[in-house]
A and B are shown apart, each in its own frame.
Chain A
Amino acid sequence: MKGSEHLILSAAEKLQRKILGLLGRSLLFAVTSVAALSVLAILFFIARDAWPFFRDKGVAAFFFSTAWYPAHQPPEFGAAAIFVGSLLVTLTAVALAVPPGVLAAICMSDILPFSVRQVLKPVVEMLAAIPSVVYGFFALTVLAPFLQDSGKWLPGGFEISSGVNALNASVILGVMALPTIVSVSEDALQAAGRELREGSYALGATRAETLVKVVLPAAVSGVFSAVLLGIMRAMGETMVVWMASGNAAQIPKPWYNLLQPVRTLTATIAGDMGEADQMTGSAHYHVLFAMGLSLLVISFLCNLAGEWIVTRQRKRLRGG
C-alpha cells in the first residue's frame, strides 16, 4: 500500500462517485420524507373518509346537537355531548395531575438527593410504560367497585350508582398523564440553572421562596408545555375512557357532576366501528372519521401551541 497512489480521480471515477453519492443521498432523503410526511398522509386519509359525513350531514348538527342516535331511522349524529365528555374528563384529569405532578417534579429536581432521584426515575418511567389497557382493567376491576362502595362512607350515605363514571376515568387519566408532566417539568426546572437559585439563596430566601418565586417563574414555559403534553395524552387516550367512563352519550347534570357516566370521542370511535360498515362506508363509519379528524386537529393545535411556547421562550432568552 505504501507509495504513491494517485490523488487525482479519473473522469469516469469522478462521475461514478458523484452519481453514487447523489443516489445515496436521494435515497436517504426519500426514506426520511416518507417517515416524516406520513403525518400528512394520516391527515389526508382521515379527512378523505370524514368528508362524506360533513358533505351529507353538514357541520352544525355534528358540533352543536346532543342527539346521538346512530342506529335510529333516520340516524342522528349530534356529537356535542361526546365533545363535552372528552373535554370534561381531559380537563379534570389534568387538573388532578398538574399540582402533584409539578410538586413531584420540584421535589425530584431540588429536594431529593441525587441517589434517591436515580431510583425514582425508573418509577416515573414505569408509570409511563404501563399499557393503557392495563390501566383500564385496573379502573374497571379495582377502582370501580371501590368508588361504588365509597359512597356509603361519605357523609349522608351518598349513593353512587356506578363506579364507571367520569371521575373514575379522570383519576386514571390523571395518573397516566402524571409521568409526562413530571419528567417534562423536571427538565424545565433543571434547565433554570444553578446560578439563579444561588442568587436567591444568597439574598437569604428559603428554599420554598426560591422555588416558588424564582425558579418556577423561570421554568414556567416548560411547565406549560408539560401541561399541554399531559392534555394531549389524556385527550388521545382510548382504552381507559372506554372501559372506565361509562360510555353514556349525555352531558352530565349539572355539567360538573363527575359521578355520572360520560362518553368521549376516542371511546366512541373504538366502540362504534364494529357496528359501522367498515368496508363500503356508511354515515356511521364516516362520522367516526369526522371524530378522528377533530381529534387530529385538536392535537395539531396543541402541538402548534407547544412549539409557539418554545420559540417564544427561546426568543425571550435571546433578547434578555
Chain B
Amino acid sequence: MTDTVKQNVEAHVEARGFSVYYGSQEAVKKVDLAIPSCQVTAIIGPSGCGKSTFLRAINRMNDLITGCHTQGELFFDGQNVYSGDVDTAVVRRRIGMVFQKPNPFPKSIYDNVAYGPRLHGSYSRRQLDAIVEESLVDAALWDEVKDRLEKNALGLSGGQAQRLCLARALAVKPEMLLMDEPTSALDPKATARIEELIVQLRGRYTIAIVTHNMQQAARVSDMTAFFYEGNLVEFDATKDLFTRPREKRTEDYITGRFG
C-alpha cells in the first residue's frame, strides 16, 4: 500500500536541523525529517523521547510553554513556521490537532464543532449546519449524535468524545492532522474505530500520529519515524522499518527489548 504513494511524495512538513529546548534541556535534537503529503506518518519511541514535543512543535503549540524555544527550521507547505512573521492562528488553522485525552469544550456538541468555523469566518446558520454535519459524518459520529446536537458534549463516552474532537478539528478544513496518542485513553473498541477513521482520512489529509502501540503504527501508517532520546534514529516506510530495521536501537525497541 505504501509503494504506490512513494513515487510522488512531496514533503508537506520538513524539519531541517530542528531542535526544541525546554529551558536548557534539549528535548528534540537536530532532527531532519520530511513528512509526506496525504500519507500517514507514525512517530514511535520510548516514553520521554520527544515525540509529543516534536509533534506539538509543528503547529507551534509549544509556544504556550514558558521557556520552550527552538533552533533550526521547520517548513510547512514550503514556509518556515518559525520565521518571525508567521501568524500562528493560520498555522494552527491549517494544521489540526487531536490530543491524547479527549478534550471537548463544556459546550453543546454543535457548538464544539462550530467553534473553529465561527472563529475564522462568519457563516450563516445554514452554512454552519452543513459544516457541522459534514465534519461529524467524516468523524463517523453523525449517526450517534444527530438527535442530540444541543446536548452538552461532556456527556459523550470517551470514544465519542475523541471522535468529536476529530470532527472539531476537521470543521476548519485543515490540510494536516496531528494526533498525539489519540487512542491511549480509549478502550479497544473505540480504538479500532479511530484507527478505521485514520485509514479513511488518509489521502485527504496529511496525518502525523504519535503512538505507543507498535501494532497501531503498523496498521495505520505509511511511514514511521523512530525517536530515541530526542534524536530521530530511523525514518522509513512502515513496512520496511518493522521488517528490516536498519538500526540496532530500532530493532531493540520494536522487538520489545526496552520501551
Contact = CB atoms under 8 A, between A and B. Distances in A.
| Interface size class of chain B, counting residues whose CB lies under 8 Å from the partner chain | 10 to 19
A4 interface: yes
Interface in B107-136: 117, 120-121
A116 interface: no
A35 interface: no
Interface residues of A, number: 11
Given A1-B120, A14-B85, A8 B172 contact: no
Interface in B197-240: none
A9 B86 contact: yes
Interface in A69-114: none
B79 interface: yes
A1 B120 CA distance: 9
B77 A1 contact: no
Main SS of the interface on chain A?
loop
Interface string B170-194: 0011010000000000000000000
Given A1-B120, A1-B121, A7 B91 contact: yes
A8 B93 contact: no
A2 B121 CA distance: 12
Contacts of B76: 7
Contacts of B147: none
Contacts of A11: 85
Contacts of B117: 1
B90 interface: yes
A18 to B, nearest CB: 11
A7 B120 contact: no
Given A1-B172, A1-B173, A2-B173, A8 B87 contact: yes
Nearest to A13: B87
Contact of B87 (A1, A2, A4, A9): A9
A189 B117 CA distance: 49
Contacts of A6: 79, 90
A11 B93 CA distance: 21
24 contacts: A1-B117, A1-B120, A1-B121, A1-B172, A2-B173, A5-B90, A5-B93, A5-B94, A6-B79, A6-B90, A7-B77, A7-B79, A7-B81, A7-B87, A7-B90, A7-B91, A7-B94, A8-B79, A8-B83, A8-B86, A9-B85, A9-B86, A11-B85, A14-B85
